Structure 1
Amino acid sequence: MTGPCTAFLDNKRIARGAPGELAAALRGREAGVLVFDDATGKVVDLDWRETAVPPPGPAQARKRGRPKLGVVPREVTLLPRHWDWLGQQPGGASQALRRLIDEARKADQGRVTRRAAQDRAYRFMSAMAGDFPHFEQASRLLFAGDAQGLAAITAQWPADVHAYLSQLLQAPEGDTP
């Protein structure tokens, strides 16, 4: 996990950054600090001995794919009949798979993205606000998709907790259908 994280102490947001940066910046003040992964809402256990800048490693061998274009190789396991069908599609297997995925994403209408945001927000809420007033009602509103009701209830919570919860409910960049 190398993405951004947010650190809280006593319901106040005190820092944000990569795990190594946070560990270095908060070293000596670890007691009571809760760190959350911004992408998942999960609590992160930092290695407080970690340095902000990792030592340089050995040079990486060039991997297959076209990494400059964001294309990385992955494996897909299909039955022979699936490969046969893909091979008959105009543009080949890759184009057919991309087209099928794009159609499925459009048909999804953002349900998967919304559910991921709800899960991310709930992980944070349960760890940070589980004993706050109206937590159970806020949880019900979260999964009912009542953004206004949730915002009204959580507005009574500490400002930084409310703001971070709102942030987690937003779709991350590149996660829109």
Structure 2
Amino acid sequence: MNPTEILPSHIAFEGHRRLASGPLGVVALAVRRAMEGKASGPVLVFDNATGRTIDIDTRGSDAEIVARFQPEGGDAAADQDDTPDTPRGRGRPKLGVVAREVTLLPRHWDWLAQQPGGASVALRKLVEEARRANAHGDNRRAARERAYHFMSAMAGDLPGFEEAARALFADERGRLGELIAGWPEDVRGHVVWLGFGEGAEEGAEENGEQVEG
């Protein structure tokens, strides 16, 4: 399971206590209220896609904060491509391709030149096949890295951190749980959630957001 399929997009911690989770606008409001109420510990906001901390601007009214972090609607590039004034050439449609340099050995170019559609089509097919074949491994690697980034920020000075990190990268779920059993509950829960997609917080799957008072 890819943890990002069940995770809300962002989460905030006040010290070692989970403050809020959900869309960034909702989390930003909770952060602003915590800071106004003289938070009992450092307030950190994490992007759950990467496990890294981010800086947010909590100035302004509630409506301004929510609007500031509202996801951009629509695909501007796609809309531009569909405008009647955009000239379109004959033949192949726009694919959104990006030109970059690729360095290969002569025998590789020789093989690509013999493929139907030419080198570009063959390379795209090879990349897509590799992505599908390696999807599970890529997801697991990304999950380990997310969890590690979060652990480093929130638990780098907690007992057993180094051993826990080794267990995480070894995919030893049970051992990781044993090593972090003494960590603050919200911290260890989010580590497991980021790393293995388990222990989702109540309510997150229902509406994608949750705020703690």
**Normalization by structure 2: what TM-score?**
0.61
Matched, 1:99 2:125: yes
The alpha carbon displacement at 1:157 in A equals: 1.5
Structure 1 residues 16 and 98, CA, compared in 2 at 3 Å: closer, same or farther? same
C-alpha separation in 2, matches of 1:126 and 1:4: 19
Runs of at least 5 residues in structure 2 that lack an aligned partner in the other structure: 1-7, 83-94, 198-213
- In the alignment, what sits opposite 2:14? 9
Larger radius of gyration: 2
- In the alignment, what sits opposite 2:153? 127
Does the residue aligned with 1:20 lie in a helix, a strand or coil? helix
Residue by residue over 1:52-111, the C-alpha shift from the partner in whole angstroms, topping out at 9 and shown as x without a partner, is 123899x9463459xxxxx74433433697777545423555652343124434664744
How many corresponding residue pairs? 163
Matched, 1:19 2:24: yes
Amino acid at match of 1:78: V
- In the alignment, what sits opposite 1:68? none
The alpha carbon displacement at 1:26 in A equals: 2.5
- In the alignment, what sits opposite 2:34? 29
Matched, 1:52 2:66: yes
- In the alignment, what sits opposite 2:50? 40
Does the residue aligned with 1:35 lie in a helix, a strand or coil? strand
Runs of at least 5 residues in structure 1 that lack an aligned partner in the other structure: 66-70, 172-177
- In the alignment, what sits opposite 2:101? 77
Does the residue aligned with 1:28 lie in a helix, a strand or coil? helix
Residue by residue over 1:115-169, the C-alpha shift from the partner in whole angstroms, topping out at 9 and shown as x without a partner, is 3222211111111011212112112222233221112212322221111111111
Residue by residue over 1:33-58, the C-alpha shift from the partner in whole angstroms, topping out at 9 and shown as x without a partner, is 1111101010111112261123899x
**Normalization by structure 1: what TM-score?**
0.71
Q: Percent of aligned pairs with the same residue?
A: 45
RMSD (CA atoms):
3.4
**Greater relative contact order structure (CA < 8 Å, 6+ sep):** 2
C-alpha separation in 2, matches of 1:60 and 1:128: 37
C-alpha separation in 2, matches of 1:40 and 1:60: 25
TM alignment of 1:102-117, pairs within 5 A: 102-105=128-131, 108=134, 110-117=136-143
Matched, 1:170 2:196: yes
Does the residue aligned with 2:196 lie in a helix, a strand or coil? coil
Mean Cα deviation higher: 115-124 or 48-57: 48-57
C-alpha separation in 2, matches of 1:137 and 1:125: 12
